[in-house]
Chain A
């Protein structure tokens, strides 16, 4: 068997693929955060809870209404996105004029309340959600056995990331959004309803988190703390990529997934920390993040 750095080559390639899969989740979650931060200047700490809600809505659709995975991919982001819109209108919209920390504390508190509520209703051990029959099975790549479902996750994540980036950077809608961020009053003077634009953006960012949640449901157990496990890492991803940078969060998400995967081979105990070590180094050398504009 070929060896690379003392590790069998098939094992190393396998970890690279797995890293990409994890990176897909990081990228999708940090993308939603970056969109919300870029346009609203709100650090959305409810994001992990909203990711979890996406998975739970998928589970509820299946359990209570018999609606399967494919519809859940559409319905769950809409439902959770609507709940996000309600939250934005009721709470977050009152904080735009205040310091960022208020928004951060508010969303953090909301996240705790949502998680606590789900924990009280559904316990902490998790709920079973099966992989849809169309996506079961696996491809034998020679060096590893890749479940079809994981490949599907990477493809969906790449498409969603690309689409979001295109919408924000290349369309008139995206141009309006970016303009509203720079100077809301001026954009409003052109007859555009800026508060509504902002509300919808928050809903869309939350919908992205929920979509990631639905994608995660068949892989991880659907449980109230599933978002909390991800969210701190994802924040590190956003910081490394540069706060608010869409492209930065996508690229960093995938890259850090791979770095983490490789750490699991060479020094498994470090795998939960390596992202933060990188974050510290990036902050020391490039305080605005890899893709951020200072």
Chain B
């Protein structure tokens, strides 16, 4: 056999690297009057449908709605795949900001990549509008004058979902946690709520990210005899775990599953038969009110013909508000100083079709209400995407962690 084993393995190990796809265009000459927004997210993996090309679609829609092009400002929206890996994401961002003149990094799901973006953007004094990532550290220890955390975070999820679960009698918990920054933050924030409400955490197990087979972890959760199994993961990891929990009869034996982060695209992937009854929290639902319905209609056909997730709606909302600030400051000033733009954004109230009226706090936290939903039964649902029934609303001033508790250096002095 002439084939060397080492060459096979070399290619096997290098395989993920080859898939790196960078879809940026070269900077053009008229750079001075052009704002460049780089949408960095998962274009090929488990978080693609909830962010991915849909986020770019929403960002481009925000540019159109802002009318800034008619005012003589060029806005370019480009996108790239970070493959949920901080190293890949950092390489793209350095090229974007150092070579291609990108002014804003947008979206960035996967908390480990978002934390890298947070640092890189601050070093270069650009703007980071984070919609996709969850870790509440972005407005806590890692807060930055160049970052706004837009759509949701781990504290808000715990505050909404875990509080409701404990109130409904779920006193003992076991976590199945994605083993990276996001999972750890979600587990930590949820644990704080459970213990504060008098509940107990019996244990947790950390699974590799991404992961396909959850049966082993679920069996450990089952053996713990906890009343609630908290899934501190997201995307296809969550849907696989929920699907397999049903298969192993975990819910039939009296344990409840708490999907701590479930997106509408996940509910669609599970199918309403499997997902019915699931309690979850989001800050945006396309069928929430007249404005969100109008927003969804105006978006036109989304890539993959899905309804927008809260992450994608957040990209729209963030870009719209950013462009308002740019318009006030002028393009040259906005390009020169990212922190200045962010300060201007914080000073103005927000208002858009997806999230309604809101504001941005000094620590970079965007404030809007959080909604507790339950997935409808197949009988209640009128068809695909008619998935949620509203259970409750946490008003904007109580939906997110109080500024004093976050430990953000920007607000301490």
Q: Is the CB–CB distance between B208 and A272 below 8 Å?
A: yes
- Given A220-B213, A264-B205, list of 12 further CB < 8 A pairs? A10-B223, A18-B219, A43-B8, A100-B8, A104-B8, A108-B11, A123-B48, A124-B46, A150-B247, A221-B236, A230-B212, A239-B8
Chain A interface extent, by class: 35 or more
State whether the Cβ of A259 lies closer than 8 Å to any Cβ in chain B.
Answer: no
Assess A269 versus B206: contact at CB under 8 Å? Given A124-B45, A221-B243: yes
The residues of B that contact A11 with a CB separation of less than 8 Å are: 219-220, 223
Q: Is the CB–CB distance between A264 and B12 below 8 Å?
A: no
Interface string of B238-282 (1 = CB under 8 A from A): 011001100111000100000000000110111101100000000
The residues of B that contact A235 with a CB separation of less than 8 Å are: 8, 12
Q: Is the CB–CB distance between A229 and B212 below 8 Å?
A: yes
| Shortest beta-carbon distance from B350 to chain A in Å | 29
Contact of B44 among A101, A119, A221, A261 (CB under 8 A): A119
| Shortest beta-carbon distance from B406 to chain A in Å | 28
The residues of B that contact A79 with a CB separation of less than 8 Å are: none
Interface string of B194-223 (1 = CB under 8 A from A): 000000000001111011110111011011
Interface string of B38-61 (1 = CB under 8 A from A): 000010111111101000000000
The residues of B that contact A149 with a CB separation of less than 8 Å are: 247
Chain A's closest residue to B4 (CB) is A100
The residues of B that contact A21 with a CB separation of less than 8 Å are: 215
In the bound complex, CA of A269 to CA of B18 (Å): 26
Q: Is the CB–CB distance between A101 and B11 below 8 Å?
A: yes
Chain B's closest residue to A140 (CB) is B249
The residues of A that contact B50 with a CB separation of less than 8 Å are: 125
In the bound complex, CA of A104 to CA of B240 (Å): 31
State whether the Cβ of B19 lies closer than 8 Å to any Cβ in chain A.
Answer: yes
Interface string of A114-139 (1 = CB under 8 A from B): 00100100111111101100000010
State whether the Cβ of B349 lies closer than 8 Å to any Cβ in chain A.
Answer: no
State whether the Cβ of B168 lies closer than 8 Å to any Cβ in chain A.
Answer: no
Q: List 9 A-B contacts (CB under 8 A).
A: A41-B3, A126-B239, A127-B269, A223-B236, A225-B44, A239-B8, A264-B220, A268-B216, A269-B208
| Shortest beta-carbon distance from B12 to chain A in Å | 5
Q: Is the CB–CB distance between B273 and A124 below 8 Å?
A: no
The residues of A that contact B304 with a CB separation of less than 8 Å are: 122-123
Contact of A124 among B11, B52, B213, B223 (CB under 8 A): B52
Q: Is the CB–CB distance between B210 and A138 below 8 Å?
A: no
Q: Is the CB–CB distance between B208 and A239 below 8 Å?
A: no
Q: Is the CB–CB distance between A239 and B5 below 8 Å?
A: yes
The residues of A that contact B45 with a CB separation of less than 8 Å are: 124, 225
| Shortest beta-carbon distance from A144 to chain B in Å | 7
In the bound complex, CA of A219 to CA of B47 (Å): 20
The residues of A that contact B223 with a CB separation of less than 8 Å are: 8, 10-11, 14
Q: Which A60-119 residues have C-beta < 8 A from chain B?
A: 99-101, 104-105, 108, 112, 116, 119
Chain B's closest residue to A136 (CB) is B247
Assess A219 versus B220: contact at CB under 8 Å? Given A41-B3, A232-B15, A268-B205: no
State whether the Cβ of B179 lies closer than 8 Å to any Cβ in chain A.
Answer: yes
Q: Is the CB–CB distance between B1 and A243 below 8 Å?
A: yes
Q: Is the CB–CB distance between B269 and A128 below 8 Å?
A: yes
Count of chain B residues with a beta carbon within 8 Å of a chain A beta carbon: 57
The residues of A that contact B273 with a CB separation of less than 8 Å are: 128, 130
Q: Is the CB–CB distance between B247 and A119 below 8 Å?
A: no
Contact of B219 among A15, A112, A122, A287 (CB under 8 A): A15
| Shortest beta-carbon distance from A38 to chain B in Å | 10
Q: Is the CB–CB distance between B244 and A283 below 8 Å?
A: no
Q: Which A1-58 residues have C-beta < 8 A from chain B?
A: 8, 10-11, 14-15, 18-19, 21-22, 41, 43, 45
Q: Is the CB–CB distance between A268 and B265 below 8 Å?
A: no
Q: Is the CB–CB distance between B217 and A268 below 8 Å?
A: yes
The residues of B that contact A152 with a CB separation of less than 8 Å are: none
Q: Is the CB–CB distance between A220 and B247 below 8 Å?
A: no
In the bound complex, CA of A235 to CA of B12 (Å): 8
The residues of B that contact A219 with a CB separation of less than 8 Å are: 243-244, 247
The residues of B that contact A105 with a CB separation of less than 8 Å are: 11
State whether the Cβ of B235 lies closer than 8 Å to any Cβ in chain A.
Answer: yes
Contact of B2 among A10, A43, A100, A271 (CB under 8 A): A100
In the bound complex, CA of A138 to CA of B246 (Å): 11
The residues of B that contact A22 with a CB separation of less than 8 Å are: 213
| Shortest beta-carbon distance from B320 to chain A in Å | 25
Chain B's closest residue to A25 (CB) is B213
| Shortest beta-carbon distance from B388 to chain A in Å | 16
The residues of A that contact B48 with a CB separation of less than 8 Å are: 119, 123-125
Q: Which B41-100 residues have C-beta < 8 A from chain A?
A: 42, 44-50, 52
Q: Is the CB–CB distance between B216 and A124 below 8 Å?
A: no
Q: Is the CB–CB distance between A138 and B206 below 8 Å?
A: no
In the bound complex, CA of A219 to CA of B214 (Å): 10
In the bound complex, CA of A130 to CA of B1 (Å): 44
The residues of A that contact B274 with a CB separation of less than 8 Å are: 128
In the bound complex, CA of A45 to CA of B222 (Å): 37
The residues of B that contact A225 with a CB separation of less than 8 Å are: 44-46, 236
In the bound complex, CA of A153 to CA of B42 (Å): 32
Chain A's closest residue to B10 (CB) is A101
Contact of B179 among A15, A150, A269 (CB under 8 A): A269
In the bound complex, CA of A231 to CA of B50 (Å): 25
In the bound complex, CA of A105 to CA of B205 (Å): 38
A99, A219, A230, A239: most-surrounded residue (chain B CB, <10 A): A219
| Shortest beta-carbon distance from B123 to chain A in Å | 31
Assess A272 versus B52: contact at CB under 8 Å? Given A125-B236, A261-B216: no
Q: Is the CB–CB distance between A145 and B220 below 8 Å?
A: no
In the bound complex, CA of A16 to CA of B208 (Å): 19
The residues of B that contact A14 with a CB separation of less than 8 Å are: 219, 223
The residues of B that contact A264 with a CB separation of less than 8 Å are: 205, 216-217, 220
Q: Is the CB–CB distance between B1 and A147 below 8 Å?
A: no
State whether the Cβ of B30 lies closer than 8 Å to any Cβ in chain A.
Answer: no
